Amino acid sequence: MDSISAFVARLRSLPWTNAFDAATLRRGEGYAREQRVHAVELSGQQLTAHCRGSGKHNYRQLIRLDPAFAAVAGRCSCPVGYNCKHVVAVLLHLLEQPPQAEIPTARLERRIDDLQPTPLLSLGSLTHAYYDPRNARTLSSYQHRAGLAFLYEGEKTHGRLGKTGRFRAVRDHEILSIARQPQAEQALRKILQQCGFSPSLRQSQALPPDSAEMFELPSEEAWLNFVQQQLPALQAQGWQIEITPGFAFDLTPVDSWYAELDEAPEHDWFELELGIVVDGRRISLLPVLLRLIQRTPELLSAQSLAKRADSEMLRLQLDAQRSTDGQPLQVLLPFGRLKPVLSTLGELYLPDQPASASLRLAAPDAARLQGLDGLELHWQGGERLREFAHKLRDCQHTVVAPPLGLNAELRPYQLDGLSWMQTLRELETGGVLGDDMGLGKTLQSLAHLLTEKRAGRLDRPALAVMPTSLIPNWQDEAARFTPALRVLALHGPQRQQNFPHLADYDLLLTTYALLPRDLERLRQQPLHVLILDEAQYIKNPTSKAAQAARQLEARQRLCLTGTPLENHLGELWSLFHFLMPGWLGDNKQFNRDYRTPIEKHGDPARLAHLNARLKPFLLRRKKEEVAKELPAKSEIVHWVELNEAQRDLYETVRLAMDRKVREEIERKGLGRSQIVILEALLKLRQVCCDLRLVKSEMPGRKIGSHSSKLDSLLEMLAELLEEGRRVLLFSQFTSMLALIEEELQHRELPYVQITGATRDRRTPVRRFQNGEVPLFLISLKAGGTGLNLTAADTVIHFDPWWNPAAENQATDRAYRIGQDKPVFVYKLIARGTVEEKIQQLQQRKAALAAGVLEGDEKADWQIQPEDIDALFAPLPGASGKRTGR
């Protein structure tokens, strides 16, 4: 072999084209075809040549090869000066010339003119790793190439035709001079182009350089489609296919899918393995998928998954599994099957967890296994866990019959709530019933307890913990809806007398204030169900009430709250720390995994992960979602317990008014004593509203709160406004509205107001209707009629108007034509007072109430002495004595 032949041989062994850009290669190919190269000679390791440029310019090239760096160094006398198109033309000229020195002189040349080419398609891939500074990750991408060459009687050629239209090959003792068939070769190129291929203009080492004509496809999806659909057709047409090691689409068929569950004996945790069967081998997909997700976290995004068609394929390389030639196995998995898997993984793990063959999960995580249903998996083990998942999935779609003796007709969403609580009990876990205010959380809980009693499971008492103001409400609703439940309120100084008898009751009621004080005694009584009403009271996990609640023993724990989250995610963690300790990790883990990413960085993936983790155990219905199940107007009595100062003054005023009324009746008779009766009732009603409304009777000693009702109202408003409610607040007393206004200003809560002193009524109405403010204070006389406030969805009667028509007239400011939202009407009533007594009279004797309180002499009523007795009865537990008869 002469020296030039050795130079050419070394040149063929190098990826020399990588030293030039595509445009330079293209122009150099043109110069080579035009035979512009001449006077080539080699001196040592340096090749000297001349190439004619544009016009009459003739340039000189000095070219060296550097095998150590797989590089070509070519200097030229043209203006470019280095590795220009003239250098390319020289190198291509050399490669087109068969090295004569290699041909034995004894060989004969045989011309072949009538052979048809057989297409040879080579397929290869190259992995390219790069650092992405946006995600601070090292990512990888693939380059894929298809190389087209032509076989003539087994001899390979490619590229453009030479000047003679022939190529030479040495075989045994002869030289073959084979005529290429340009029309047939072009037809084969068109077939590739019809498959979506286009000539590759970019350099790539996916296939050996200068081994074929390079083609590429526009996307991964196009490559998948080609390999799956079009490549078999080409093979059927006689194309020869050569797949190089590492080709990314050299796929192994998947035989089946499997899932294996291994449950711990104590049922606290389980392990999940999910995989495929390939060539008879079980291969866990979890490590592969988790590594893939760590590289491309968007795969877990619900939005990203939704954009993927079920027929779209994902290519996975199984690095740990090798084919017979030692290459990693690759499989093709349809997104139709992967979507539930990826979605479930997104709900079960965090991206920084290590990838392993199985996931170790807490027992409640089994609720997420339902997402894998319908995948035709071969399940092994975990029958109890799978039953858990199915029951939790179906509980809101299975109607549970209301328990025998429930004196209420549950609406469909309330039946769903009962079913949910029953399922949680069966699965030995707890949950948060987070319905909006007024949707009946107490009723659903009582129905749950009555169901337990009817089933014989309430062999221990249940305990409900609540704010003090809700004790009367629970007592009232239990007596009204579930009279079969034996209820004991552990409230007041006499409660210790009942401690030895706790087991004799079905339902115990206590308050957050008393729970820490009575903890030692309550800890001695095992409970069936422990319920925290207004559970946001334990949003601070270090509070005495929260710490005490966590120490009680109960088979099931439930939280009731319309505001599971008020200020930050830590409040939600505190609820679940009570319900299911460890479910969201400790406080430090929760802050790291959820609070910081969500609250500080707005991480939607972590928020979705948290929502999915909580979803089975948090039942949240907003009134808009169940509007079809609700009447157009729902009326709710909100009971209030007078504080000590109010009780003292109430009894003082009641005794004085009782004596005065009876003396007036003795002198004038019942029918002519209305003014005195109204005056007495007015005084008592003002005491129920706020002590400051009856300043002359206020005690001289220092008191705490002036009004339990005002305190309760402010709690209600905070919750209602947090829910986005639009509220009308009515009071007969403008002086009461002034006190409410002071509190709103102190709390910086926006509002508008109409009273008799308001001159411009249009502005506050417009501001409220336009959504500028969420709260409207209205006095009876000024706003009971003539206002259209359909932007409101909530009406609060701070001091009830005993004539039902007057109440309805006020409520109709919101509940009127044009209202498209359910309207909730709340009546604040002080328990055991004249307010409650007249509410009872209102239900029985609407005409009586109208006549007594509105002074309507035309009303058809006849008041009886027993009605006076009821109106002026002492407060429960008070030692007041009758005066008079």
Using CA atoms, how far apart are residues 59 and 753, in angstroms rounded to an integer?
Answer: 94
Region 803-826 average pLDDT: 70
Q: Tell me, what's the pLDDT at 439?
A: 78
Query: Does 751 have pLDDT greater than 50?
Result: yes
Radius of gyration of the chain (CA): 43
Sign of the four-CA dihedral 306, 307, 312, 314: negative
Question: Which amino acid makes up residue 148?
Answer: L
Q: Tell me, what's the pLDDT at 239?
A: 93
Using CA atoms, how far apart are residues 203 and 209, in angstroms rounded to an integer?
Answer: 9
Using CA atoms, how far apart are residues 549 and 551, in angstroms rounded to an integer?
Answer: 5
Closest alpha carbon to 853 in 626, 681, 670:
681
678-688: pLDDT as tens digits? 888 888 899 99
Helix, strand or coil, per DSSP, at residue 623: coil
Helix, strand or coil, per DSSP, at residue 250: coil
Which tokens is 798 given?
A: 């701070």
Using CA atoms, how far apart are residues 646 and 691, in angstroms rounded to an integer?
Answer: 7
Average of per-residue pLDDT values in the chain = 79
Question: Which amino acid makes up residue 642?
Answer: L
Which tokens is 475 given?
A: 């007592």
The percent of residues above 90 in pLDDT, for the chain, comes to 24
536-580: pLDDT as tens digits? 888 888 889 989 999 999 999 999 987 766 556 777 888 888 888
pLDDT tier at 103, thresholds 50, 70, 90: very low
Name residues whose C-beta falls within 8 Å of residue 566's C-beta, 6 or more positions apart in sequence. 536, 539, 722
Using CA atoms, how far apart are residues 611 and 313, in angstroms rounded to an integer?
Answer: 28
Closest alpha carbon to 364 in 574, 608, 580, 587:
580
Q: Tell me, what's the pLDDT at 591?
A: 80
What class, spelled out in words, does domain 708-832 have in CATH?
alpha beta
Region 234-254 average pLDDT: 83
Domain map of the chain by residue range?
3-102, 110-243, 395-623, 708-832
- Contacts of 136-142 with C-beta under 8 Å, sequence gap 24+, read 137/295, 139/295, 140/295, 142/220, 142/248
Query: Does 858 have pLDDT greater than 60?
Result: no
Which stretch, 10-24, 40-54, 93-107, 444-458, has highest mean pLDDT? Answer: 444-458
689-730: pLDDT as tens digits? 999 988 755 554 455 678 899 999 999 999 899 888 999 999
Region 121-137 average pLDDT: 77
Closest alpha carbon to 414 in 556, 619, 618:
619
Query: Does 863 have pLDDT greater than 60?
Result: no
Same fold, 395-623 and 708-832: yes
Q: For the domain 395-623, what is the CATH code? A: 3.40.50.10810
383-403: pLDDT as tens digits? 777 777 777 666 555 568 899
Query: Does 32 have pLDDT greater than 90?
Result: no
Q: Tell me, what's the pLDDT at 567?
A: 58
Using CA atoms, how far apart are residues 459 and 528, in angstroms rounded to an integer?
Answer: 7
Higher-pLDDT residue of 51 and 315 is 51
